[in-house]
Structure 1
Amino acid sequence: MKKLKQWILAMQFLTRIPITKESMPAEPSDFKGAMCFFTFIGLIIGIWTWLIFQLGAFVDPLLGALLAAIAGIWITGGIHLDGLSDVFDGFGANRDAKRTLEIMKDSRVGAFGVLALLIDFAYHLIGFYLLKDHPAFIIWVPVSAKFAICVICSIGKNVSQGMGSLWIENISQAGLFVNLVLFIGVGIGVIPWTQALIGLGIVFGTVILLNKKFGHKLGGLNGDCLGATHQLIEWVMLTYLIIISRGLIG
C-alpha cells in the first residue's frame, strides 16, 4: 500500500495524468520511495509520445513530430520547462550566485528564458522528425531524462527549501539501481546493447558536468536545476539517437 502511495505521488508530481483528484499527504520517506518510479514514468511518457507520433505520421512525419512535441508538454504539464527557462535567465545574466538565484526565482521570463523555450520546442520537433525512420527511439528520450534526474539528485547538494529539496539528496542506492536497470532495459529494447551502454556513459557524463556547473555557480542544486537537467538531457539524447539512426555509430 505504501508503494502504491509513492507511485501516485510520483505520477502527480511528474505528470498531469488524472490518477486521483486528491493531493497525497506525504512524508520525506515517501518522496524517497517515489523516486524509484521516475524512470518508469519516463517510460509511460515515452510510449505516449511515440503513439502520438505514430498517429500523426499516418498523415505526415512532420505532423507526427509536431503532435509528439506538443503531447510531451501536455502530459507533463511543462513542469521541467519552467526550470529550463529560469536557469537560462539566471545563468545568462552572468551575475554572482545570490543575484543568479534571485533571477531564477523571479516569476517573469526573460529573453534568455524565452530563447531556451524556443530552442527546446524546435529541438524536439526537428529531433522527432529526424527519427521518423526509427520512431521507437523516441521512447528512450524521456526515460533518459527521468533517469538523469535520479542521478543528479544522488550526487548533487541541495541549496534550496523549495520543491527541489524534496528530491535532491533524497534517493536511496536501491532506488537509483532500480532506475538504472529500467533505463538500460528500455535502451536495449530500442538500440543494440553496446549503444545503450554508450548512452549510459553520455547521461552520466552530462549529469556530472551539469552538477559541477551548478555547484560552481550556485553552490549546489535547486528545483530549477533539476528541470534544466531534464530538458538538456533530452537534447543530448535526441542528438545521440539521431546519430545512431544515421548509422554513424556501429
Structure 2
Amino acid sequence: MALLLCGVQFLTRIPVPPQPGFSVDWINRSARYFPLVGQFVGLLAALVLLLAANLWSGWIAGLLALLTATLITGALHEDGLADTADGLGGGRDAAHRLAIMKDSRIGAYGVLALGFGTGLKLLSLASLSPWVAAFSLIAAHGVARAATVTVMHVLPYAGDEASAKISTRTRPPGVGEVFVALAFCAWPLLLLNSANAMLGIAICAAVTIVMALTARRLIGGQRGDILGAVEQLCEAGFLLGCAAHLKAAVF
C-alpha cells in the first residue's frame, strides 16, 4: 500500500498521507503499480465523459475527459511529450538535445506534438459510443503507464543524474516488476472488443519500440521527458486502435 500511494503521489496531484520511512528507492519500486494509478486517472476521466455525454456531444464530452486527466496529473506527461519533441527534433547532438529538453520554454516541435497528440485522442474518443470511450480511456491509461515501466527497465538514464526526478542510484524496475505492471494493465482489455484491443496493443508496442530506439540513438537512454512522451503516444495509439472500424464492439 505504501508503494501504491507513492506511485499516486509521483504521477498525480492527488494528495496522499505521509508515508513513514520513505526512501527514494520507493519510486522505482512503485513503478509496478503505475498502471493501476493510470487506470484510476482513466476511471475519473471516464466518469466525467459519461456524465458529460448526457448533456453534450461526444466532442465536448471527450474534451472534458481529457481535461480531467490533465488536471489530475498536472500535465506531467504532456510536458514530457513537448520537451521530448523539442529536444529530439531540434537538437544538434546529444548534449544539445538534453539541454533543450531541460529548457522550460516550448518550441514549435512541442506545440505540434501536443496539438496532434491531443487531437488524435479527442477524435478517437468522439468517434466511439460513450461507454466504449469510457472503457477505452481506462485501458489506455493503464497500458500507457505499463509501457513507461518497460522503457525504464530496458534503457539506462541519459544525461545529468542530478536533474533526475527518479533516483538513478537505485535499481530500475526489474523483469518481475515489469511483468507485474503488464499484468495490472491487462484487465480493462476484457471490457473492449478483442480485435480493437489487440490493434491498440500493437500500436502501443510499435510506438514504445520506436521511441526507445530513437531515445537510445539520439541521447543515449531514457529520462522523465522520454517516459512522458511514451505515455502520451501510447495513450493516443491505443485510443486509435479502439476507434478503428474493425469488428463491432460489444458495448
TM-score (norm 1): 0.88
**2:35 equivalent in structure 1:** 39
- Alpha carbons 1:85, 1:116 under 8 Å: kept: yes
Matches within 5 A, 1:25-174: 26-60=22-56, 61-132=58-129, 134-135=132-133, 136-160=135-159, 161=161, 162-165=164-167, 170-174=172-176
- Alpha-carbon separation, structure 1, partners of 2:201 and 2:234: 11
Q: Which moved more, 1:106-115 or 1:45-54?
A: 106-115
- Alpha-carbon separation, structure 1, partners of 2:16 and 2:220: 36
Q: Gaps spanning 5+ residues in structure 2: where?
A: none
- Alpha carbons 2:28, 2:171 under 8 Å: kept: no
Give the match's secondary structure for 2:186.
helix
Alignment partner of 1:190 out of 175, 189, 192: 192
Identity of aligned residues (%): 28
- Alpha-carbon separation, structure 2, partners of 1:137 and 1:90: 30
Deviations 1:64-102 (A, max 9, x none): 112101111011111011111111111221411111111
Q: Which moved more, 1:70-79 or 1:30-39?
A: 30-39
Give the match's secondary structure for 2:146.
helix
Q: Alpha-carbon deviation of 1:24?
A: 7.0
Asked if residue 177 in structure 1 is aligned to residue 174 in structure 2, the reply is no
Change (3 A) 1:220 1:27: same
Q: Alpha-carbon deviation of 1:203?
A: 2.8
- Alpha carbons 1:10, 1:38 under 8 Å: kept: yes
Q: Alpha-carbon deviation of 1:144?
A: 1.3
Q: Which moved more, 1:229-238 or 1:204-213?
A: 204-213
Deviations 1:142-199 (A, max 9, x none): 111111111111111211311145599611222211111122222123232x654554
Q: Gaps spanning 5+ residues in structure 1: where?
A: none
- Alpha carbons 2:139, 2:189 under 8 Å: kept: yes
- Alpha carbons 1:9, 1:24 under 8 Å: kept: no
Q: Alpha-carbon deviation of 1:248?
A: 5.7
- Alpha-carbon separation, structure 2, partners of 1:72 and 1:86: 19
**2:15 equivalent in structure 1:** 18
Change (3 A) 1:115 1:166: same
Q: Which moved more, 1:89-98 or 1:74-83?
A: 89-98
- Alpha-carbon separation, structure 2, partners of 1:249 and 1:99: 48
Change (3 A) 1:249 1:173: farther
Give the match's secondary structure for 1:179.
helix
Superposition misfits of 4+ residues, deviation over 3 angstroms? 22-26, 164-169, 194-202
Q: Which moved more, 1:173-182 or 1:215-224?
A: 173-182
Change (3 A) 1:164 1:210: farther
Change (3 A) 1:48 1:175: same
Change (3 A) 1:59 1:65: same
**1:208 equivalent in structure 2:** 209
- Alpha-carbon separation, structure 1, partners of 2:113 and 2:20: 32
Deviations 1:115-150 (A, max 9, x none): 222223322222221123522222211111111111
Give the length in aligned residue pairs.
243
- Alpha carbons 1:32, 1:167 under 8 Å: kept: no
Q: Alpha-carbon deviation of 1:209?
A: 1.6
